[in-house]
Structure 1
């Protein structure tokens, strides 16, 4: 059985929209695209290398898929990120889309009409872990249906105020255990959380 890992870049207030560039996603008039870039440091690179060092298949929403498909196949063979391009081009991409016939990027597959059922079936199979990148709407559906086994969060020291968020307003209650966490020199909090049972409660009230 495979694990489903949500890997996400977020601001302190939970916004994950357009971390990599001004024109990446301007939906809703989002004006802070590229907010991640000034904070990138060696620890960020190490975390990314570790994330992609084990076998995985990508689980993507359509918007993120289109952004990736417009970039990674066009990376020159001698570019600095050519290795990442080769990795992303080669892995299987499972995509939430109503237009599966338009998935032209190699090794891409549509998830079908019932995305949640399709992901459940993928998780039941043997094979590489399923890894999300971006894809806020898809990630929120996965969190709301308690399908996420692991969270890999990189939280950046910035407040963005508005934008697409990681966690749904009406999500599934779930407990996670902090497995590891490190703060980078530029203030990125890099953390790994593992799903752990139900939410426990208590009380500070006096007897």
Structure 2
């Protein structure tokens, strides 16, 4: 069985738009592209390397695919640890219409991405790692398809922007598997699904007649 794993840079108020640079995704007038850079250091990079260090194929929404396809195939730095992997692995792409996929080893998920993913998850093979893809993530949340959530939370409030969790997220409990804070203020946390949302109440329960009688007898 393959797992769907997400790894997302997110601000403290939940925005994930354009973490890498000003031109990455300026849609809807977003002005803070590149907000990750001031807080990213070697230790934070090591945390990301740990997430990317296991076998995986990529699972991407169309917009993130286009951004990646315009960048990663052109990275020739022999010391870069990500480009060789991204360029080699299979890229599964969710798109409402059949796109032109020029990046090698890229496959369209078809008209019904959810059905295609259910089949992929049932197969043997590497896990499916989601990067970026804010719109497609909402589909995954709504159908409860994510098996592991990794968030790198940065000490910044961005106000408006594309968010990790939208209104369509399916309610679910989560279990914190691992967390680590770093000197730059970044917190890295890993969660797994933990069943339904549990609720309770801090309100005092009304005493039973037997309890009231016991209290009267104590006076």
* TM-score range relative to shorter protein: over 0.9
Q: Is the 8 A contact 1:41 1:185 kept in 2?
A: no
For 2:204 and 2:168, the matched residues in 1 are separated by: 31
For 1:169 and 1:197, the matched residues in 2 are separated by: 19
Q: Is the 8 A contact 2:138 2:166 kept in 1?
A: yes
For 1:64 and 1:202, the matched residues in 2 are separated by: 40
* 3-state secondary structure, aligned to 2:82: helix
Point out 4+ residue stretches in structure 1 off by more than 3 angstroms: 98-101
1:160 is matched with which residue: 144, 158, 161?
158
The aligned counterpart of 1:47 is: 47
For 2:194 and 2:162, the matched residues in 1 are separated by: 26
The aligned counterpart of 2:28 is: 28
For 1:103 and 1:50, the matched residues in 2 are separated by: 28
TM-score by length of 1: 0.96
* 3-state secondary structure, aligned to 1:57: strand
For 1:26 and 1:113, the matched residues in 2 are separated by: 28
* 3-state secondary structure, aligned to 2:46: helix
The aligned counterpart of 1:188 is: 186
Q: Is the 8 A contact 2:138 2:168 kept in 1?
A: no
The aligned counterpart of 2:208 is: none
For 2:17 and 2:162, the matched residues in 1 are separated by: 5
Is there any run of 5+ residues in structure 1 with no aligned partner, and where? none
Q: Is the 8 A contact 1:10 1:155 kept in 2?
A: yes
2:70 pairs with 1:70: yes
TM-score by length of 2: 0.91
